[in-house]
Homo-oligomer: A and B are copies of this chain.
Amino acid sequence: MAEISILTESELRQCVRLTKEVTDVIAAAFARLAQGGVVMPPVLSMELPQVNGEVDVKTAYVPGMDNFAIKVSPGFFNNPLKGLPSLNGLMVALSAETGIVSAVLLDNGYLTDIRTAAAGGVAARFMAPQRVETAGMIGTGLQARLQAQALLLERNVEHLLVWGRDAARARQYADEQTQVLGIPVSVADSAEALVKASQVVITTTPAKEPVIDADWLHPGLHITAMGCDSPEKNEIDPRVLVQADLVAVDRVSQSLERGEMRTAVKAGLIDADSILPELPAISAGLVPGRHSEEQITLCDLTGTGVQDTAIADLALRIARQKGLGTLIES
């Protein structure tokens, strides 16, 4: 008989919010990944075309953490027609010593949202120019909101531009985020205008064709591309991967399979055995990040199991302190 803690989304929201401390936790987890000892198998991916769905399972074992998480992320894209969110899921926490289930985190994808945004924060920390007058957000969904918050924890952005295919949603984003972020947010005339005016651009779309053209690059630009996380997606003109001064990814194997490297390999612009620097190695100080304000940099994020284990570990520690969760004997 083991005692298992069941935590609901509302309880987990009381434990973890997007703060600089959470970005620190994700940066530290990335550093651990680079330093060795972490076991992170390839993503288990299941495509379900018959229901317009997909499921990804991610995990990583991080020595020294009490638990490791196995994260189940379903995306069922007909759900909005039924009034339900597309993305859902949970995390299972297993004891790092015994493998016994210690907790089930019924977060409906909330912790994934937070750890994804925090990885954007880490990318900004090490790769954005120090001075960011204008930042640009491409996309108008939940990650467009969270990534802006994560960026503002790292840089004193003065003005945010937004662009999305749906002008009404972009307008709504601008109005709402001007209040939320406390800086002016305005709608850009085009993705091109947004990129040209910004020192940091974040792409948060499910695009299958590039939303950023290599011709728009300019000195001192950093791009974080976090939307592309499956083999049919692509946000960045593959020429950016060869034209930028520094291109980093969260995990080379994943970027090759499901990130922006995939398209660049397909276009014949980079080799399939290319070893790009990884954000984890940059976080660990093993590889340099940006080293001048003039560099053009790109960071491609596909989402890694080590982020899931780190955020689950954090949430469980805080939940225990707060006495949250329902204990089940099994």
Contact = CB atoms under 8 A, between A and B. Distances in A.
Interface of A: 2, 4, 6, 8-10, 37, 39, 41-48, 50-51, 53, 55, 57, 59, 61, 63, 70, 72, 74-76, 79, 82, 84, 88-90, 92, 94, 96-101, 104, 106-108, 326, 328-330
A330 B108 contact: yes
A70 B42 CA distance: 16
A47 B40 CA distance: 9
B101 A89 contact: yes
A106 to B, nearest CB: 4
Most buried by B among A8, A82, A98, A100: A98
B39 A48 contact: yes
A55 B99 contact: yes
A84 B100 contact: yes
A94 B108 contact: no
Contacts of A76: 97-100
A44 B46 contact: no
A328 B89 CA distance: 15
Contacts of A94: 55, 72, 74
